Amino acid sequence: MDRVALRGLKARGYHGVFPEERREGQTFVVDLVLGLDTRPAAADDDLAKTVHYGIVAEEVVAVVEGEPVNLIETLAERIAQACLKHEGVQEVEVTVHKPDAPITVPFDDVTVTITRSRV
């Protein structure tokens, strides 16, 4: 299976279990790895035979900016389902970064990574 990756998609969301997270929001960062067969697109040099990663990026940002959820696990699942709606995408790995998570000790990042497929 071939891979198309999008790294560092940024969007402001209002996800979290604490009232201040829901009120103030924060930046979330998303990395995607889409699994698909790119041979038909490459053979014909045809965008219609692969995934349009620009559209995927816009849809992922819309999910992050959309309805708030408590957990980044839930957010990752919603993003994965949006990616799998694209016909050629057979598998997706989603990493959601929450670099401004409300943690009381020094840290660089909090992430959740999930992998989902059509099977």
Considering only CA atoms, give the Rg of the chain.
15
- Give start and end residues of each alpha helix (H) in the chain: 19-24, 39-44, 53-65, 72-84
Amino acid (1-letter code) at residue 103: I
Burial class (CB in 10 A: 0-12, 13-18, 19+), 22: middle
Asked if residue 82 lies in contact with residue 116, where contact means CB atoms within 8 angstroms, the answer is no
49 is catalytic: no
Distance CA(49)–CA(40), nearest Å, equals 6
Q: Which residues are catalytic?
A: 98
